[in-house]
Chains A and B, each alone.
Chain A
Amino acid sequence: MSLLTARGLAKRFGGLHAVAGLDLTVARGEMLGLIGPNGAGKTTVFNLLSGFLTPDAGDIVLDGRSIVGLAPHAICRLGLARTFQIVRPFPRMTVLENVRVGALARSPRAGEALARARDVVARVGLGTRERVPAGALTLADRKRLELARALATGPALLLLDEVMAGLNPTEIETIIQLVRAIHESGVSILLIEHNMRAVMALSQRIVVLSFGERIAEGAPADIANHPKVIEAYLGEEYVRAAPA
């Protein structure tokens, strides 16, 4: 049985079909890449899955149970955690305090949660920054913090929204290692990523979204050569990259 199944998922903003009848499944233990050009509807899919938006149509089943209409906090407790594309740290809390908020979802006792938070902070490589206020972190560290907080909630499925955007190649390399390690520890991952090299390296399977619809799906190698994908996504990239 798959861990997450979405069927016929749809969301409109006024006249805009941000997500238009999407089917999506994540198998247990899978790392699934979700790619597509800017504005394709990827973040909207995350907002629907995590309960921040209610779908106009369609169903979402997590672990055999429909989660449509549940509040984000309830969905988190059922084992689906997400990060935000535009990171949202609690700026006046320290790194450790930030992560503790997530840890409290699994360990209601403050002391236990703190110990758990400390583990997770160390795992993402922020051990030396534990006591730094989140507002004072670099972008790379904020991205790690975003990841750490979500991880601390003990998810079965982790939705990562562009955790590598804005980072330099060395930082991207460490995040790739980190995401891989989290996956190997048994967490299923749904990954939105614009960095092609990273998404190709990490994903077992990739779904391509364009104008809210799935236009392709397959193994990384197949996706890279898929004509529709080149047209919708890479094509656009090439056009933009070409000198005017």
Chain B
Amino acid sequence: MKWALAGGVVALVALPAVLSSYALTLFILIFFYGFLGQAWNIVGGYAGQLSAGHAAFVGVGGYTATMLSIELGLTPWVGMLVGGALAALLGAIIGYLGFRFGLRGFYFVLLTVAFAEICRVAVSNIDALGGPLGLYITFTGNPRQFQFQDGRVYYYIALALMLLATLIAWAIERRRFGVYLAAIREDEAAAEALGVNAFKYKMLAMVVSSFLTGVGGTFYAFYLFSLQPNTLFGIPLSVEIIIRPIVGGAGTLFGPILGSFILTPLAEISRRYLGQGGLYGAHLIAYGVLLIGVVLFLPEGAYPRLRRALARRAGATR
């Protein structure tokens, strides 16, 4: 397992040497959505608190870094962390309201969606933030401005983000924090009876998750050079964030990554081929079908199944 992992990472590091620019873009998206999925996984998967408004954190992070860069000339490398911090603050507010007042299941989902929508509408109506048209970033190709002539740099940054989030998830999984999150997900009252401060750990999970997602917002903005409220705060982005870990296996370490490797190419291919025939949004139908398939046949996601299959093969060859 360790060796397969190391081999995989080495392969991904070496890969850009042989990739076409289209394939490079595809991998950047796989890593980036894998990263966002992993960030969501901490609160949505491990802690089992279904946030369906994670786009709000991408938006807050992206807008913060962009505004700081445009208005104050602050480098997005720092703005990224400020954006993450503000996203974490928003995450803490949402978490406080949801967890303090015991909103569970659908109610928590609604709360998170409502917050993302409030942010979207608010930003659309603030002229200083570009209103509904959003903000545009002039391309300078200056690395200090988080801009690169060479697309491979974005590739490595996205890969690093995904690996970093996975490392964090791994560290959480192994520690008391992760054990407690799993207990909360399984049965919160039983966890409380065993000394688990459910509120505190859910809050922590939310803050870590929203911070990372907020950091992702900077990448999103400076990779695309533009940010609009409807895309950065919109429900479709929240769906993109959630669906990968769910398909791959929520609450598992590699689920979000596997989910992104399955879904991102699928989305890109259907967008490319079906979109040209005027079938915009066809990838959403593909998502829907896939999601129904996962719910029916792989309720824990693809990764647990894959792991069992690999373990069986390893057992057979031994």
B198 at interface, CB cutoff 8 A: yes
B105 to chain A, nearest CB (A): 18
The answer to whether B195 touches A102, judged by C-beta atoms less than 8 angstroms apart, is yes
B313 at interface, CB cutoff 8 A: no
A70 to chain B, nearest CB (A): 11
Chain A residues whose C-beta falls within 8 Å of the C-beta of B191 in the assembled complex: 73, 90, 101
The answer to whether B176 touches A104, judged by C-beta atoms less than 8 angstroms apart, is yes
Which residue of A has the minimal Cβ distance to B200? Answer: A73
Chain B residues whose C-beta falls within 8 Å of the C-beta of A84 in the assembled complex: 190, 193
A218 to chain B, nearest CB (A): 30
Chain A residues whose C-beta falls within 8 Å of the C-beta of B198 in the assembled complex: 73
A72 at interface, CB cutoff 8 A: yes
Complex: how many Å from CA A212 to CA B75? 67
The answer to whether A97 touches B194, judged by C-beta atoms less than 8 angstroms apart, is no
Which of A73, A82, A149 is close to B197, meaning CB atoms less than 8 Å apart? Answer: A73
Query: Contact string, A55-98, partner B, CB cutoff 8 A, digits 1/0?
Result: 00000000000000001111011000110100011111100010
The answer to whether B187 touches A102, judged by C-beta atoms less than 8 angstroms apart, is no
The answer to whether A92 touches B195, judged by C-beta atoms less than 8 angstroms apart, is no
A31 at interface, CB cutoff 8 A: no
Which residue of A has the minimal Cβ distance to B190? Answer: A88
The answer to whether A101 touches B179, judged by C-beta atoms less than 8 angstroms apart, is yes
Question: Which of A82, A105, A108 counts the most B-chain CB atoms under 10 A from its CB?
Answer: A105
Which residue of A has the minimal Cβ distance to B197? Answer: A73
The answer to whether A73 touches B195, judged by C-beta atoms less than 8 angstroms apart, is yes
Chain B residues whose C-beta falls within 8 Å of the C-beta of A92 in the assembled complex: 186
Main secondary structure of the interface of B (DSSP, over half): helix
The answer to whether B176 touches A72, judged by C-beta atoms less than 8 angstroms apart, is no
Known: A88-B187, A90-B187. A71 touches B180 (CB 8 A): no
B295 at interface, CB cutoff 8 A: no
The answer to whether A93 touches B186, judged by C-beta atoms less than 8 angstroms apart, is yes
B196 at interface, CB cutoff 8 A: yes
B189 at interface, CB cutoff 8 A: yes
Which residue of A has the minimal Cβ distance to B176? Answer: A104
The answer to whether B186 touches A76, judged by C-beta atoms less than 8 angstroms apart, is no
The answer to whether B176 touches A108, judged by C-beta atoms less than 8 angstroms apart, is yes
A143 at interface, CB cutoff 8 A: no
B151 to chain A, nearest CB (A): 41
Which residue of A has the minimal Cβ distance to B174? Answer: A110
Chain A residues whose C-beta falls within 8 Å of the C-beta of B182 in the assembled complex: 90, 93, 97
Known: A100-B179, A101-B180, A108-B176. A153 touches B195 (CB 8 A): yes
Known: A90-B186, A93-B182. A50 touches B193 (CB 8 A): yes
Which residue of B has the minimal Cβ distance to A100? Answer: B179
List B residues at the A interface (Cβ < 8 Å): 174-176, 179-180, 182-183, 186-187, 189-199
28 contacts between A and B (CB under 8 A): A52-B193, A71-B192, A72-B192, A73-B192, A73-B195, A74-B197, A76-B193, A76-B195, A90-B186, A90-B190, A91-B186, A92-B186, A93-B183, A93-B186, A97-B182, A100-B179, A101-B179, A101-B180, A101-B183, A101-B191, A101-B194, A105-B195, A108-B176, A109-B176, A110-B175, A113-B176, A113-B179, A152-B194
